[in-house]
A and B are shown apart, each in its own frame.
Chain A
Amino acid sequence: MIRFRNVSKIYSPDIYALKNVSLHIKPGEFVSIVGQSGTGKTTIVKLIIAEEKASKGRVIIGDWDITDIKEREIPILRRQIGVIFQDFKLLPRKTVFENVSFGLEVAGVKQKKINDVVPQVLKIVGLGGKQERFPRQLSGGEQQRTAIARALVYRPKILVADEPTGNLDSINSQEIVSLLKKINQFGTTVVLVTHNREIVNSLRKRVITVDQGSIISDQKSGKYIL
């Protein structure tokens, strides 16, 4: 599903964010990526959604080699990958419902279908009664669940979450993680980048540990080892 072949990312001659990274994530997997700050985790996420281009090596999503993706093809890629960020990245001037439906609207989905699907997804993430609120009227956990709903609404095959619990307390964090697990059970490939030892240890899923731009461990049912 996601394949990195000898990928390096050089932001500037003295910043090697990734060095010769190879990894393969299979469909339906739940993979945690852990590592200290500044080791290149977010860079991996950015390469997956074509926010950055690999300096060396190849990045392949599904059957699609996106290493040299054209700018006008990027929206098509992004509609196949749901992304969740630490800072939620919701549109402040749009309601919960509109934030979730926005992606479908720009993809040209018919209004009837949107009115069908969006409430369903909002129910799954537990935001049933709050669809007319604006992001500033929501708690952090609710904002993150809105972001997850937005990522899910395309029915993506891949969900990438970059420290989705970084701004949340532990109860909210647990809820988000169990939501991610639920999504994974529906068959979506989930990539979770996190600092949270508790979460990683409780998941008992595959763990990839990154240090200074290289993968130093990749365990099938791993623990947080740093």
Chain B
Amino acid sequence: MFLFLYRTIKFAVQGFFRNFWLSLVTIIILVLTIFSITVVAGINVVAEQAIESVQDKIDVSIYFKPGVSEEEVINVRDRLQELSLVESVLYVSKSEALEKFRVQHQDDQIILDSIDQLEENPLSATIVVKANNLDDYPTILAVLENPEIDALVLDKNFDDNKLVISRLSDLSDKIKRVGIIISSIFVVIAILIVFNTIRINIYTHREEIAIMKLVGSSNWFVRVPFIFESIMYAIIAVIISVAILYPLLGLVAPQVSNFFDGYNLDLIEYASSNFLRIVGLQFAFAVILSVLSSSLAIGRYTRV
């Protein structure tokens, strides 16, 4: 068993270096495939994170008329909370609003003074509604149009957000569509590349495999070195891809962060905290791709 492993690995290493240029071509093809798929995946991550962080910032605030009682406001809040589309409803009572106002303007004595002059709290109770999804806001707003509720409402900041919301859902749709198109293009390219690798493999190995069988190799002695050789391709391809991708990320990440200024989007942080997962996925992908393609080639030519 040890002798078998030692010899098959030896044959694999020999095969790799004695056919250096073909090995190199195969590796380059693998690197390109890994590279393009990682880039598409990266774009997806950026898009998803961007949409998520923007989505987080969007909500609808409902300001109630001064005379509306706390009970009525809570009633509205409960009704909203029952909607499945709603992620959270935050109720800010009149006194809480005043408290906040004071904190916000603590350095401005004139304003604080004038607030104190007033007998009644001039601020209105507020409900802040967050939807699960961008597309759900129109539905929620429609619920608020209900005359029963509408009568209590002084103002909604809905109109300010309306534009942002519709733009964002447009944008997110577009990003998704483009992402799907780009991904499928790369998947097609990857399939073609795998096919070509199989063909190259068949071409270079068919004679060799036939001869090995003629001099009395068992099937395993023929197959295993090719499998090991393809695993070597995968390992080297992943190392090269990582060596290209990470410096590239260093260049691109600040631009991306600038573009999404104010949103929490640190690609380098993401890439380094997910390093093992990313490299692991790339490796799994490369090994499956190359082992599958060489197995297919071998399978066809190891029969007597």
Contact = CB atoms under 8 A, between A and B. Distances in A.
Interface of A: 49-51, 71-72, 74-79, 83, 89-94, 98, 102-103, 105-108, 110, 150, 154
B221 interface: yes
Interface stretch (B115-123, B144-152, B207-215): B207-215
B4 to A, nearest CB: 7
B304 interface: yes
- Pick the 8 closest A-B CB pairs, nearest first: A78-B216, A79-B216, A93-B18, A106-B221, A106-B217, A103-B215, A75-B216, A75-B218
Contacts of B4: 108
Nearest to B215: A103
Which of B14, B210, B216, B219 counts the most A-chain CB atoms under 10 A from its CB? B216
B216 A91 contact: no
B214 A105 contact: no
B19 interface: yes
Interface of B: 3-4, 7, 14-15, 18-19, 207-208, 210-219, 221, 304
A93 B211 contact: no
Nearest to A88: B211
A107 B216 contact: yes
A89 B19 contact: no
Contacts of B215: 78, 83, 102-103, 106, 150
Contacts of B14: 93-94, 98
A106 B219 CA distance: 10
Contacts of B212: 91, 102, 106
B11 to A, nearest CB: 8
Contact of A78 (B7, B19, B207, B214): B214
B10 to A, nearest CB: 8
27 contacts: A49-B214, A51-B214, A51-B304, A71-B219, A74-B213, A75-B218, A78-B215, A79-B216, A83-B214, A83-B215, A89-B210, A89-B211, A89-B214, A91-B211, A92-B207, A92-B208, A93-B14, A93-B208, A94-B14, A98-B14, A105-B7, A106-B7, A106-B215, A106-B216, A106-B218, A108-B3, A154-B216
A74 B18 contact: no
Contacts of A51: 214, 304
A77 B208 CA distance: 20
Contacts of B213: 74-75, 78
A58 B4 CA distance: 35
A78 to B, nearest CB: 4
Contacts of A107: 216
Which of A76, A93, A98 counts the most B-chain CB atoms under 10 A from its CB? A93
A89 B208 CA distance: 9
A72 B221 CA distance: 12
A154 B215 CA distance: 10
Nearest to B19: A93
A163 B15 CA distance: 30
Contacts of A105: 7
A93 B4 CA distance: 20
B250 to A, nearest CB: 40
B304 A71 contact: yes
Contacts of A98: 14
A90 B210 CA distance: 11
Nearest to A79: B216
Which of A50, A75, A91 counts the most B-chain CB atoms under 10 A from its CB? A75
